[in-house]
Amino acid sequence: MQVGVRIARLSSSRFRSPHFPLLSTTSRRLRCNLSPSAASPEECELNEESDKFLRWLRQKAGSEISSVLSLGNSIYGRSLFASKNIKSGECILKVPYIAQITSENISREIKLLLPRDIENVSRLAYSGWATYVNSLPSIDEMHNAIFWSKDELELVRDSAIYQETINLQAHIKKEYSVLGPVLEQFPYDFGDVHLMDFMHAYALVTSRAWDTSKGVSLIPFADFLNHDGTCDAVLLSDVHEEISEVIADRDYAVGEQVMIRYGKFSNATLLLDFGFTLPYNKYDQVQLLMDIPSHDPLYGMKSEILKKHCWPRTTTNADKSNTSGNSFVVKEVKSAIGKGKGIPQALRAFARVLSATSVEELQSLITEATENDGRLARRPLKSNEREIQAHCILCSRLLHMIQGHDVALKKLKSVDASDCNGRQSLRTRMARDLLNGELRVMKSAYAWLTNYYTSLSVPKEASLCSEEFSLTSAGDGELG
Ligand SMILES: C[S@@+](CC[C@H](N)C(=O)[O-])C[C@H]1O[C@@H](n2cnc3c(N)ncnc32)[C@H](O)[C@@H]1O
């Protein structure tokens, strides 16, 4: 999760080693309904447990954590609710750094045995706080894409998340192969740790830890806050005071669930790292992979020029590995006739290079770049015909992807809900949210590109795009 910085002064003080009590039984019992006005025996028990947890945390922290929030249960699992009226701008929760868990808490003996290249999420997943981590949601309650079966993953084969999930699974396996033998040397601390246990701990960390100035940190109590992508409230870090805090972004009445924004995350990120999706996510995006066709007679010259101008570029994947490729992130374009914010300039430049059919055209692109700011093909091509063709290449690529998503969504629609158990229907809904969001983004980009090239066309040129583009869709939110 992303953390906001309240005061950007870095503290040099060392993290003291907190000690968490065993929560395994209590945390399960916290999962009952909380209604602030009612007082069933379960609710009384929940309030008691919540108070107990806060008392314990306050003791660790040496200060009050929150006097306006209490722990309850909602459709999102454990959640924080306003226990008093909250005013916008009020600080609702403060967790001192000393009550947070980072990889610095790993005991010295274990630290010495850990190879340097083990990433922070893996370090934290088995940092000696396994008891705390294990008390959190069980593996059956988690829906991160890495836990999806082969058949379930097939539902999202048309999205980049399919390959990212496979890469992440391989990455976790690799980390486990290095960490496993180290953990085996501490049977008293960790017991038997199998690959699935490690995957579970890994997913717990990705779904509830923040990237702070101290590295990946678990922040107890704050990690009961659920995500609302439309919220302005985020977890802030006050490095000077050494606390993490949340400031209310609006008024809350007693009993209302208080939520924050984990980050500006697409459904693909939410599914991979957190195990849920939103029915409408304004941060959705798609990855477009572009290549020079191997049969292009100018393949050599185009590759050479692109390489000189930093293509292929390296992108960092969810599993922290790097992919070298011509990968572009496309976001939703708000208006088909507006500026086209969301279609990367670099993607259009790449398409302009692809559209060239002669050495002279490529040469003139190089000259233009040298005479201007050095960036290749950032201006519309001098020939209208070529500019139209460049954008048709992008439309054609997008159309192919749109059709793939359409087919996948049609298949999802035909899944008979009565054949599904709760888990399957939840994951089917997530697949639908993901594909619908990506489809919306692709259609918006497609509409903008089509509008752009038709605005350049005289009737004869309008037929330059070789494919007949027609959008019929199974997805929600059709462009019409
Ligand atoms: C930081 S924890 C929040 C507390 C969590 N509900 C619990 O029971 O411990 C993040 C997890 O909460 C759930 N969650 C948070 N926001 C959600 C949302 N908007 N929709 C569905 N699940 C959500 C997901 O399971 C996610 O992995």
ipTM confidence score:
1.00
105: alpha, beta or left, given left = phi > 0 and alpha = psi -120 to 50? alpha
Do 252 and 354 fall within a single domain?
Answer: no
For 435, residues 6+ apart whose C-beta sits below 8 A from its C-beta are: 156, 158, 159, 405, 408, 409, 412, 475
Name residue 86's beta-bridge partners.
Answer: 252
Q: Please check whether residue 271 lies inside any domain of the structure.
A: no
Outline where 263-344 has alpha helix (H): 267-269, 299-308
Residue 449 is part of a domain; what is its CATH number? 3.90.1420.10
* Pocket lined around ligand 1, Cβ cut-off 6 Å: 76-79, 137, 207-208, 223-224, 226-227, 274-276
pLDDT of residue 232: 95
Q: Please check whether residue 88 lies inside any domain of the structure.
A: yes
Q: Cα(188)–Cα(109) distance, rounded to whole angstroms?
A: 13
Lowest mean pLDDT among 81-85, 204-208, 397-401: 204-208
Q: Please check whether residue 275 lies inside any domain of the structure.
A: no
Atom of ligand 1 nearest to the CA of 227: 16
For 199, residues 6+ apart whose C-beta sits below 8 A from its C-beta are: 139, 146, 147, 169, 172, 176
Domain residue limits at 437: 285-464
For 130, residues 6+ apart whose C-beta sits below 8 A from its C-beta are: 189, 190, 201
DSSP 275: S
Do 298 and 325 fall within a single domain?
Answer: yes
> Which is nearest to 464 in space by CA: 472, 456, 473?
456
Q: Cα(37)–Cα(49) distance, rounded to whole angstroms?
A: 17
Do 55 and 183 fall within a single domain?
Answer: no
- Mutate-to-test residue for ligand 1 from 30, 226, 273, highest number of ligand atoms within 8 A of CB: 226
> Which is nearest to 285 in space by CA: 445, 70, 98, 117?
445
Do 41 and 122 fall within a single domain?
Answer: no
Do 56 and 129 fall within a single domain?
Answer: no
Phi, psi of 400 (to 5 degrees): -60, -45
How far is ligand 1, taken at its centre, from the CA of residue 109, in Å?
34
How far is ligand 1, taken at its centre, from the CA of residue 77, in Å?
6
Query: What would the pLDDT profile of 365-399 be if each residue is shown by its tens digit?
Result: 999 999 999 999 999 999 999 999 999 999 999 99
| Domain total of the chain | 3
Residue 378, CA distances (Å) to 11, 57, 389, 404 in order: 43, 55, 15, 30
Lowest mean pLDDT among 286-300, 380-394, 421-435, 464-478: 464-478
Q: Average of pLDDT values for 306-310?
A: 84
Do 75 and 119 fall within a single domain?
Answer: no
End-to-end distance of the chain based on CA atoms, in angstroms?
36
Who wins on pLDDT, 344 or 56? 344
The amino acid at 244: S
Angle, alpha carbons 220-224-230 (nearest 5°): 125
| pTM of the model as a whole | 0.85
